[in-house]
Amino acid sequence: MIAPMGNFALQALMREAAVTLDRSRCVRHRCTANACTRCIDVCPTDSFTWTKGGLQINPDTCTQCLSCLSVCPTAALASPGLSLPQVLADLAQHRLPVLGCKGQPGSDAHVRISCLGYLAHPELMTILALVFPEGLQLNLTACDECPNGHILDGIVTAHGRLHGSVSNHAVKLIRDKKDLEYAAATLSRRQFFLLFQERTNRAAVTMVKRLQDNIEQKTYGKKQIPEIRALLLKAMSASTAARKESIKEQQFGKITFTSDCCHSERCVGVCPTGAIRSSRMSNSPPVFDQTLCTSCFSCQAFCRNRGVVLSDNSQIPLVTKREQGL
């Protein structure tokens, strides 16, 4: 017999999860030697805790700032209903697109996500710069008054890093309303899209179509690169060799096998993305593919001999509670 469900249990089931966790992709769940605390450190409301049962998220205290998504190296965290390819496609329908947030519905925006804190992810910011070479405005005009205003530092940092890898990009952070160029769409989406295709920013439409077309998330067994990395690699494929190299050097991790490497290839198994693969030779270190490395540190943490060293080029902006004075 099924016991009657109390109101509290029912409410708990019905409560919408602000952020979801896929434990099979969380590096700390996958590799016990990896003491990754990025989501715990970045969350301003202490909504993450590490317990005997693993990582827990408290949906009651989460304010959906999405900062945790921007620092997770393997995209183990997700925001239900947020589809990056769809966001890009919707933005590409506007001549001078404006991205805003759902938390401030009074602000001007063509497309909204639950919080712009998601954009603190350097790879995501780079995708925006590559896909919208003719311009994209991020509407941050209401952030100063918003309870999630702490996200600004991460966004400014990720945006600042763009100058090194995508010179002459046209992604603008709009902090003052008078700087915003916003034209509300008066046509239907279909009409606007047809008009848009005829006369304007073809580059963005073409790029988005290419990105949506068969996003190649390389998989090796249970290994998978995050969707953001898959999209970035695709967006980079249309870039010059120099730009590709610059993005790779500035944003992707790089590992070195030291003379202490015993060639046991245990790191091959622990790498969640397939960035390290067997050399199939007993006296050689494994083969490393920098384009797949997301700087999760698992290989370095797992190697007992200190045979692997990671140079974390990603410099994912970790805004810790300590730094925020919380």
Contact 36, 27 (CB under 8 A): yes
Minimum distance from CB of 36 to ligand SF4 (Å)? Answer: 10
Minimum distance from CB of 26 to ligand SF4 (Å)? Answer: 13
Q: Which is nearer to ligand SF4, 155 or 301 (CB)?
A: 301
CA distances, 141 to each of 85, 146, 154, 177, 303 (Å)? 25, 10, 16, 6, 46
Minimum distance from CB of 288 to ligand SF4 (Å)? Answer: 6
CA distances, 303 to each of 81, 263, 286, 287 (Å)? 38, 11, 13, 16
Q: Which residues pair with 139 in a beta bridge?
A: 174
Residue among 74, 87, 85, 84 nearest 21 (CA): 74
Q: Which is nearer to ligand SF4, 101 or 271 (CB)?
A: 271
Q: Which is nearer to ligand SF4, 109 or 299 (CB)?
A: 299
Letter string b/e over residues 34-45, b meaning 16 or more CB atoms within 10 A of that residue's CB: bebebbbbbbbb
Minimum distance from CB of 286 to ligand SF4 (Å)? Answer: 9
Q: List all residues 6 or more positions away from 308 whose beta carbon is below 8 Å from its beta carbon.
A: 255, 256, 257, 258, 261, 267, 299, 300
- Kindly list the residues in this chain that would bind ligand SF4 in the complex (CB under 6 A): 253, 255, 270-271, 273, 275-276, 293-299, 310
Minimum distance from CB of 290 to ligand SF4 (Å)? Answer: 9
CA neighbours within 13 Å on the CB side: how many for 279? 14
Q: Which residues pair with 111 in a beta bridge?
A: 99
Q: Which is nearer to ligand SF4, 200 or 250 (CB)?
A: 250
- In angstroms, the CA 309 to CA 207 distance is 36
Which of the 8 DSSP states describes residue 147? T
Minimum distance from CB of 41 to ligand SF4 (Å)? Answer: 18
Q: Which is nearer to ligand SF4, 93 or 126 (CB)?
A: 126
Q: Which is nearer to ligand SF4, 196 or 252 (CB)?
A: 252
Minimum distance from CB of 229 to ligand SF4 (Å)? Answer: 10
Q: Which is nearer to ligand SF4, 87 or 270 (CB)?
A: 270
